[in-house]
A and B are shown apart, each in its own frame.
Chain A
Amino acid sequence: MERSSRFRSRRIAPVIAVAAAAALTLAGCSSSSGGKKSEEGASNASAGKASTPRMTVALVTHQAPGDTFWDIVRKGAEAAAAKDNIKLVYSADPSAGNQANLVQNAIDQKVDGIAITLAKPDAMKAVVAKATAAKIPVVGLNSGLSDWKKLGLLEFFGQDETVTGEALGKRLNEEGSKRAVCVVQEQGNVGLTQRCDGVKKTFSGKLDTLYVNGTDMPSVQSTITAKLKQDKAIDYVVALGAPFALTSVQSVSDAGSKAKIATFDLNSQLTGAISKGTIQFAVDQQPYLQGYLAVDSLWLYKNNGNYSGGGEAPVLTGPAFVDKSNVESVAKFAAKGTR
């Protein structure tokens, strides 16, 4: 007995010693800068809450998993839902067929309103008709500017990708760019192609397209570097998403290029890069606003019969330019992941 207990304690001792050492090491390992502790307790704006009866709204998008942009749309929708006493059902699938099934799912749940994106309008036609037949109001957001009216949607919140591209192209002219490259992170994505086409339409210099593998950042970085080396005359890199703009900063320095960087869409790191001057400007379509307005509009329609644009005109949420002159006012919202 005694032997065994001594044996046990001999085996426990080193375990305790290791645990204690680990605890001490961890205690000594605190980071003095950065990290969660240094993050300011910035809380979300809290508006009052509506006293109207609880309703259910489905938001069905074509988001791919893990995309920062759609995360902001969803946050906007959630904020509106919280304020309006709405239960928000969010679902998403990048494949059109699956997205249509998700809308059908919402109809089956007998929701009070549906907000959808029309990345592939033809695939959504049938299911939108079913929703209308079931007397569920449907609004559109983000993509589908040219199709929402044809499909009989109540209203639309978003930006015209082509118009936004055109605005960016004009801005490039003002910046004196002669040769730019448009970096597409997902080959075959219609919205991204429209952005580049928009830039091409108004840009007076020469614009090349470059496809990169968006799921592999080292590959994105080296491909942009390669392009900048292949064509030394490139003076502007146009990224179609914030993370890709940030990566191209490294590419530009690796290539020893003097190219400047502009981008579509924002995130918190990007506002930092704009104030530092490593990235010149971003065109923001305000995804938070799209999600917020889409959900809020369904509440207004149910409780007061209002609808923006009267079923004729869309509500545009962009393009909003963010550059060094106004980045400070945007940065604090971007830090919370809402702008």
Chain B
Amino acid sequence: MTMTQQAEPAVTRPPAPGPRATDGRTAQRPLVLRLLARPEVGVFLGAVAVFVFFLIAAPAVRQGSSMATVLYQSSTIGIMALPVALLMIGGEFDLSSGVAVVSSALTASMLSYQLSMNIWVGVVVALLVSLAIGAFNGWMVVRTGLPSFLVTLGTFLILQGVNLAVTKMITGNVATDDISNMDGFDQARALFASSFDIGGVQVKITVFYWLVFAALATWILLRTKYGNWIFAVGGNKDSARAVGVPVKFTKITLFMGVGLGAWFIGMHQLFSFNTVQSGEGVGQELIYIAAAVIGGCLLTGGYGSAIGPVFGAFMFGMVNQGIVYAGWNPDWFKAFLGVMLLGAVLINLWVSRTATRR
């Protein structure tokens, strides 16, 4: 809040569609092209294409309950893809996000169990731990100026080792104990891992959180000063600093945002499955990054949206489950997934090229 005075006059606020639509020349261009120039439109068309494809190829997809399953899978990726996307727009990325989810769940589970505390104590401590991991990543990056690739690769390995070693040291096993009969579990489960009946279809609560968080992230990005700072530090750190954007604050809080997301998904996993295996989560960070990139965020920073990764995560969930619904030979599963994703990215690229060509 103390940064308010320095930054207000410094950065011009972009209008709602996106940061690159402000260069004045876009006013004369047709509406369709202007629409296509938005970062999320390409992935939106890709998601629609994949959706329609599986509606035709896999009859099972047409049921409402199948869509609930697809949305559930998408939401657990999508909730993490949102802070990861914001971080990427801010010019950094986080390789430790996959195992950080598991670290958070392990912390909550072991703390509550070993001290025989109410579950909520563990949940709150896990939140602090997750935020601290994010703050550490951010602090290391801004303090040393090292690429976030190196810093977070380090954190990734540290967390992976700590997850395993500490779990084994404390529980004597490599998975945590069952906490489902402890005080507070049912409330926590209701908050993080329940489901709702909508027209006879069971929809997991994460789907709602996903949409709410996406709206929140969009609002932050497009309607707040902090959103401008994110675009500014991702676009050009030095010019951003020159015009008074608090670069360090912005980057550290973005990393902490990823920590917040990891905590949320970690809690969801803990309260859905009662125990956590310490070796899980490896490789998930790439899926979150993929969802953000497919969603139109640039790996180089400064460009992207929060709604794009929503479609990116949906596309990932749709392809993932669609292949199963279609009953295709599972030996080809990963290859199908890769082809589908590449295809989607190409559509994305083609759309944005068409849009920017006059």
Residues on A close to B: CB < 8 A?
Answer: 26, 29-39, 64-68, 71, 187, 208-211, 213, 215-219, 221-223, 225-227, 229-231, 243, 246-247, 250, 254-256, 267-269, 272, 337
Contact = CB atoms under 8 A, between A and B. Distances in A.
A282 to B, nearest CB: 16
A229 B66 contact: yes
Contacts of B174: 66-68, 71
Contacts of A71: 168, 173-174
B217 to A, nearest CB: 20
28 contacts: A26-B117, A30-B116, A31-B118, A31-B119, A34-B113, A34-B180, A34-B182, A34-B185, A36-B113, A36-B115, A65-B279, A66-B277, A66-B278, A68-B173, A68-B174, A215-B98, A216-B281, A217-B269, A222-B69, A222-B70, A223-B73, A226-B321, A229-B60, A230-B325, A243-B175, A246-B273, A250-B273, A337-B173
B69 A35 contact: no
A35 B168 contact: no
A30 B182 contact: no
B182 A33 contact: yes
Interface string B157-186: 000100110011000111101111111110
Contact of A223 (B118, B164, B274, B320): B320
Given A66-B277, A229-B65, A35 B112 contact: yes
Interface string B115-139: 1111111000000000000000000
Contacts of B283: 213, 215-216
B63 interface: yes
B30 interface: no
A218 B72 contact: yes
A296 B72 CA distance: 48
Give chain B's interface secondary structure class. Answer: helix
Contacts of A269: 178, 274-275
B173 A66 contact: no
Interface stretch (B9-17, B33-41, B228-236, B326-334): B326-334
B272 A221 contact: yes
Interface of B: 58, 60, 63, 65-66, 69-70, 72-73, 76, 98, 112-121, 160, 163-164, 167-168, 172-175, 177-185, 202, 268-269, 272-275, 277-284, 287, 317, 320-321, 324-327, 330-331, 333-334
Contact of B280 (A66, A210, A229, A337): A66
Contacts of A221: 272
A216 B286 CA distance: 12
A33 B183 contact: yes
Contacts of A67: 174, 277, 279
A31 B69 contact: no
Contact of A210 (B184, B269, B287, B324): B324
A226 B69 contact: yes
Nearest to B268: A218
A215 B282 contact: yes
Nearest to B181: A34
Given A31-B116, A68-B277, A216-B287, 6 more contacts: A31-B117, A34-B181, A34-B182, A223-B73, A267-B175, A269-B275
Contacts of B177: 36, 39
A217 B333 contact: no
B113 A35 contact: yes
B118 A187 contact: no
A217 B272 contact: yes
A34 B177 CA distance: 10
A27 to B, nearest CB: 10
B116 A35 contact: yes
A250 B272 contact: yes
Contacts of A65: 160, 164, 278-279
Contacts of B185: 34
A250 to B, nearest CB: 7
A67 B185 CA distance: 25
A254 B202 contact: yes
A61 to B, nearest CB: 13
Given A29-B121, A36-B114, A67-B279, A230 B324 contact: yes
Contacts of A39: 177
Given A32-B183, A269-B178, A229 B279 contact: no
A222 B73 contact: yes
B325 A226 contact: yes
B199 to A, nearest CB: 15
A175 to B, nearest CB: 24
A30 B121 CA distance: 9
Nearest to A33: B181
B324 A29 contact: no
B269 A218 contact: yes
A227 B324 contact: yes
Contacts of A217: 269, 272-273, 280
Given A34-B181, A243-B175, A230 B320 contact: no
